[in-house]
Structure 1
């Protein structure tokens, strides 16, 4: 079973840049998409796929989707009964034939907060950047509860669980090219990395790419469009597949399917691809 995840940075733009050809070439069974930025009626035709989409309520922003070869038996959207439920940031489906509940996630980017927040001390104020930082932390807290509930529900139903997408966090120094220069950057703050630590456990969720590549730098999955960052591979690994232990143990291959050159890029992200043995 081949599973992929890609922040498309606008699905219509990604299709113009070759997403449909990539799907035909790589032939995944499931692909999670983030930043779809498109209402359902304007999504380009993708024959042979069942599309599950939460476009959210903010026109031209966010939006998560799952393309599956198997028709889902159930589709759920949003992070529980929270302020984030209508933002198009979380979508999960049940695939009974694959014995899998799979989710697509787009976690808020946040912003560089007040210096006290970087050090882990609570602060008041902090302007717009501080507000975005605090909002990201609230989303992370809600998401952690959601993932626990979804993983346990999947287990009760006899299914494995997989959440994949753009987490907007580099978990460790091995997950970005310049950790020292980004020590105070949103996406690599101690509070964010510690939260990611708590998500992972041999009994809860496993970072599939890191399990198969424990000592590798990266592989990066995001590079700015600007300059030569892509050519120099100066980027971040912020796109993940986190799997329940049983599914993670069946991972055969995983990594970033990085395009051969800048001109071939479908997005500012590249797909994260994993092959799992069938259960």
Structure 2
């Protein structure tokens, strides 16, 4: 059995203060994908990644983004979008990054995002599987939906929205290329992470009120649906919970959203069909010993692979 988790920690130091280290030590995962680690190398807390081998792409924006993949055994290959990564074994304490040993050509449009700390992938040693961690931009509203006084952020004329849409278009091309490369090499492929898009009405607790919210816009949902099919990638959690509301993985810190379970499902395991068929359970760890680790919760899937 292979236990694999993904979690947006929303800052590794804050997550550790809430018990992330204990969750990591006791949850017995074989692979953990992290997003929004949000810390430069020289500020990493001691034991930030527990007793795991780590591949961490911090990006070039201090205090923002940052993705990692933690594995029990050293990965046999590491790839990023032309960025440098921290590759560190259990017990090592060096802080220098190095070019990713294995690189793939970037799809048109991704070059501008190559050093933002949004993507890293590894080939596992124990099984023929490529695992990727993605932090997709949050985005914003298109200009025609921006109404001053009804937004928490200042109107930007649709700049954040347009940037997200460009990113998604470029990433779709890269995702197809990466998936095919894995299969050509005899490996299954698993994309995990915070996609900042809820796919269906089952994925948002208050979906009627969210139709004009970033992350649930028709064009965003259509984009995510276009990445999924019985021959390309399968939404593993939805496959195991086809009619469930949620299970949600993100709740606002504001108000009573968490207490009322008024959340969003925006953290995914997207697997090639053969791998998806081996998934036997999928759960969201809403809290650890009564404490939320982040505004996101870990999504944990067991694969009989």
TM-score bracket, shorter-length normalisation: over 0.9
- 1:265 corresponds to: 292
Spell out the pairing of 1:122-137 with structure 2 (5 A cutoff): 128-137=156-165
CA contact (8 A) 1:40 1:53 kept: no
**Gap change, CA 1:129 and 1:4, over 3 Å in 2:** farther
- 1:73 corresponds to: 76
Of residues 252, 258, 263 in structure 2, which corresponds to 1:224?
252
Q: Note the C-alpha offset of 1:43.
A: 2.3
Q: Note the C-alpha offset of 1:47.
A: 3.7
Q: Note the C-alpha offset of 1:24.
A: 1.9
Distance in 1 (CA, whole Å) between partners of 2:283 and 2:230 is 20
Spell out the pairing of 1:109-128 with structure 2 (5 A cutoff): 109-115=138-144, 128=156
Distance in 2 (CA, whole Å) between partners of 1:91 and 1:267 is 21
Q: Note the C-alpha offset of 1:76.
A: 1.1
Matched, 1:190 2:193: no
- 1:155 corresponds to: 183
In structure 1, list runs of 5 or more residues that go unmatched.
Answer: 118-126
Of residues 249, 252, 264 in structure 2, which corresponds to 1:236?
264
Q: Note the C-alpha offset of 1:98.
A: 1.7
CA contact (8 A) 2:25 2:51 kept: no
Matched, 1:16 2:20: no
Distance in 2 (CA, whole Å) between partners of 1:20 and 1:260 is 11
State the TM-score, normalizing by the size of structure 2.
Answer: 0.85
- 2:280 corresponds to: 252
Cα deviation digits, residues 17-45 of structure 1 (max 9, x gap): 11111112211000000000012233231
In structure 2, list runs of 5 or more residues that go unmatched.
Answer: 83-105, 147-154
SS in 2 for 1:140: helix
My pick for the range that moved more, 106-115 or 130-139, is 106-115
My pick for the range that moved more, 93-102 or 174-183, is 93-102
Q: Note the C-alpha offset of 1:116.
A: 7.3
Of residues 74, 89, 100 in structure 1, which corresponds to 2:118?
89
Distance in 2 (CA, whole Å) between partners of 1:78 and 1:268 is 27
Cα deviation digits, residues 74-117 of structure 1 (max 9, x gap): 11112825101110011111113221100001000011212379
State the TM-score, normalizing by the size of structure 1.
Answer: 0.92
Matched, 1:99 2:151: no
SS in 1 for 2:222: helix
Spell out the pairing of 1:170-209 with structure 2 (5 A cutoff): 170-209=198-237
- 1:61 corresponds to: 64
SS in 2 for 1:264: coil
Moved over 6 A (4+): none
Q: Note the C-alpha offset of 1:129.
A: 4.7
My pick for the range that moved more, 210-219 or 144-153, is 144-153
- 1:123 corresponds to: none
Of residues 246, 260, 275 in structure 1, which corresponds to 2:302?
275
- 1:29 corresponds to: 30
**Gap change, CA 1:129 and 1:231, over 3 Å in 2:** farther
Cα deviation digits, residues 160-180 of structure 1 (max 9, x gap): 100000000000000001111
Distance in 2 (CA, whole Å) between partners of 1:213 and 1:191 is 24
Higher normalized helix content (fraction of residues): 1
Cα deviation digits, residues 32-81 of structure 1 (max 9, x gap): 00000012233231342011011001011000011111211111112825
